[in-house]
């Protein structure tokens, strides 16, 4: 029987595409069959009558390091979103007097400027469809593991589980961008160090307050996430000031993990004010800055503003019985300083909050997903054989 050659070729092509799609789906789904399932800690707001103050050792003589950990240059032959050369990006930040210039292209640790005194190996992790990304600071290697199609809270926690051992500081990138991480996620997630609260795309303070309100001690980082240093509003608008003696990797990452830094929103890398000190006495905290601020806000549980003071550079606040933490925003002409929180503890040390792997549920999950992958693989193989 004669066959229409056009229909035959079309059918063959359709079978090939279907097999290719099924194979891609199997490959994309396979990591889910190895995911862990977690038991998350109960919400336990900060408590106690001893305040943990990350700025206890900071005074007017402390050196402040200016850093950006998140920016992109042209990479992968233009396949990713980056419009500036490495040199253009580096020069732009150095001209704004940055000590640490972080070139965080996707899935690669760039070493072009590794002789610079402020060089820290880092990269942006993530190639999943919902932009669930992480800024990997002080990275020792690139992790390629990812859940690319979707992520439940268990996959989000599992990514932290995979990533954290490979670096010094793990920051969850731009949570509000595409709502990649919901505020409720931060009532559960553990094991990371910082949230990228400030980013030129989005401000994610709701996520930060969600973590803090449930007793998770996490700190701020502020980054441009610039993809074009020539574009107005992308570069020199969000940065982190870090209280460290030197620009060495070990000093910077230690300070970040201890909360000895603050985020800044401004323009052209210029900030007209600086933190001078934040001191605690009992349950009272006092903020001092270099010059008169337009206003200073004290913010507490769930992001509620507890006190606003105007035209001052020295203001105190006493915790009331409902305050579990207090963080401070200092408003200046064209800029805002976002300080890390001071929070209640029982012994004056950081509380340990940790999600645990649920072994039984993990293996039940893996068996089900492995079965799904096997079924899809069998269908793909069968289709391929039929197409021959």
Decide if 219 contacts 256 (C-beta within 8 A).
yes
Residues 6+ apart with CB under 8 A from 336: 264, 265, 266, 329, 330
Residue 220 forms beta bridges with which residues? 195
Q: How many residues does the chain have?
A: 388
Q: Are residues 188 and 205 in the same domain?
A: yes
Helix (H, G, I), strand (E, B) or coil at 41: coil
pLDDT recorded at residue 2:
52
Q: How confident is the model at residue 119 (pLDDT cuts 50, 70, 90)?
A: very high
Q: Are residues 33 and 95 in the same domain?
A: no
| CA-CA-CA-CA torsion sign (355, 356, 360, 365) | positive
- List, for residues 22-64, the tens digit of each pLDDT value: 778 878 888 999 999 999 999 999 999 999 999 999 998 999 9
Q: Are residues 228 and 268 in the same domain?
A: yes
Q: Are residues 110 and 186 in the same domain?
A: yes
Q: Are residues 372 and 347 in the same domain?
A: no
pTM of the model: 0.92
Instruction: Give the burial class of 356: count Cβ atoms within 10 A of its Cβ; 0-12 exposed, 13-18 middle, 19 or more buried.
Output: exposed
Q: Is residue 310 part of a domain?
A: no
Q: Are residues 223 and 158 in the same domain?
A: yes
Q: Per the structure, how many domains does the chain have?
A: 2
- Least confident among 100-104, 166-170, 269-273, 325-329: 269-273
Domain region containing 343: 56-275+336-356
Q: Are residues 145 and 106 in the same domain?
A: yes
Q: How confident is the model at residue 355 (pLDDT cuts 50, 70, 90)?
A: very high
For 91-109, give the DSSP string: HHHHHTT-SEE----BT--
Q: Is residue 300 part of a domain?
A: no
Q: Is residue 307 part of a domain?
A: no
Which CATH number belongs to the domain containing residue 197 in this structure? 3.20.20.140
Q: Nearest-CA neighbor of 176 among 167, 185, 187?
A: 185
| pLDDT above 90 (res 174) | yes
Q: Are residues 96 and 200 in the same domain?
A: yes
Cα 203 from Cα 247, distance rounded (Å): 27
Residue of 329 and 19 predicted with greater confidence? 329
Q: Is residue 325 part of a domain?
A: no
């Amino acid at each position: 029987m004669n066959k229409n050659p056009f229909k035959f070729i079309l059918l063959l092509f359709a079978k090939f595409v279907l097999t290719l799609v099924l194979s891609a789906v199997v490959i994309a789904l396979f990591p889910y069959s190895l995911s862990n399932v977690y038991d998350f800690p109960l919400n336990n707001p900060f408590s106690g009558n001893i305040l943990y103050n990350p700025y206890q050792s900071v005074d007017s003589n402390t050196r402040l390091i200016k850093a950006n950990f998140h920016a992109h240059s042209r990479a992968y032959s233009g396949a990713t979103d980056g419009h500036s050369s490495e040199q253009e990006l580096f020069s732009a930040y150095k001209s704004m007097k940055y000590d640490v210039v972080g070139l965080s292209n996707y899935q690669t640790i760039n070493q072009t400027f590794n002789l610079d005194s402020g060089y820290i190996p880092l990269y942006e992790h993530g190639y999943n469809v919902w932009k669930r990304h992480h800024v990997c600071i002080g990275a020792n290697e690139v992790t390629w593991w990812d859940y690319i199609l979707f992520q439940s809270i268990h996959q989000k926690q599992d990514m932290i589980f995979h990533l954290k051992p490979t670096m010094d500081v793990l920051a969850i990138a731009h949570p509000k961008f595409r709502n990649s991480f919901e505020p409720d996620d931060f009532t559960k997630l553990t094991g990371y160090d910082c949230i990228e609260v400030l980013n030129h795309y989005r401000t994610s303070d709701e996520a930060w307050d969600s973590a803090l309100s449930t007793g998770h001690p996490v700190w701020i980082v502020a980054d441009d996430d610039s993809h074009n240093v020539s574009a107005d509003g992308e570069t020199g608008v969000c940065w982190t000031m870090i209280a460290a003696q030197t620009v060495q990797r070990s000093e910077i990452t230690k300070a970040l993990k201890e909360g000895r830094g603050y985020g800044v929103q401004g323009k052209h890398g210029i900030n007209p004010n600086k933190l001078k000190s934040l001191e605690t006495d009992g349950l009272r905290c006092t903020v001092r800055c270099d010059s008169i601020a337009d206003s200073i806000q004290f913010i507490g549980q769930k992001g509620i503003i507890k006190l606003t003071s105007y035209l001052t550079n020295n203001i105190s606040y006493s915790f009331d019985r409902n305050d579990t933490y207090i963080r401070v925003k200092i408003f200046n002409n064209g800029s805002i300083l976002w300080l890390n929180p001071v929070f209640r503890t029982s012994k004056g040390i950081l509380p340990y909050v940790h999600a645990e792997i649920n072994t039984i549920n993990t293996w039940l999950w893996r068996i089900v997903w492995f079965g799904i992958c096997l079924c899809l693989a069998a269908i793909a193989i069968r289709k391929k054989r039929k197409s021959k």
